[in-house]
Structure 1
Amino acid sequence: TYSTSVEVGTVLSAISFAKARLGVTVLPGYVREFVSELGLVAKALPCEGVEHPISLITRWNARLSTPAECLLDSVRKRLAAARA
């Protein structure tokens, strides 16, 4: 068997691959009704044990704005509290 994965830049691109029968995709729940209208089958994944990485991507030579720094600090605190 072959194992292939493709990373796409948009949810619509991922849906298009599935619609073209080029595989399956994992999508956020908010598009479930939309993909059903396209004739695709959408099934919810179990929440238990599911982890999703959170990334903050910035230019290497740029500093975050004060509001962005506050947001990042808040996210870090909430994640730390959830792990405790």
Structure 2
Amino acid sequence: MMSKGVFEIKVKELNLEVLGAMMLKVAPISKQLNHKWPKSTMEAYIDPDSAGEAEFIRDLFQLTTDEIVEKWYGGMDGAAKFIHHV
């Protein structure tokens, strides 16, 4: 657990253009692979050891909201800070 006032907002390191382009491809790739759910595509085709944008997308489909907020935003305080400064 991080101490109050100290935020590691890992999501700030991501390239939003790359992330957006990857997210836009999820549904068409899922359809092309005959997957009913995009989550199946993400679990099958994103390497568990991937980093950056691919790691964020994988986590978005596999982790709970609390786990995502803790890992990528440094907790709820960091998430609130991110929301208000982006």
What's the TM-score once normalised by structure 2's chain length? 0.23
Q: Which has the higher contact order (CA 8 A, sep 6+)?
A: 2
Asked which structure has the greater CA Rg, the reply is 1
Between Structure 1 and Structure 2, which shows a larger proportion of helix residues?
2
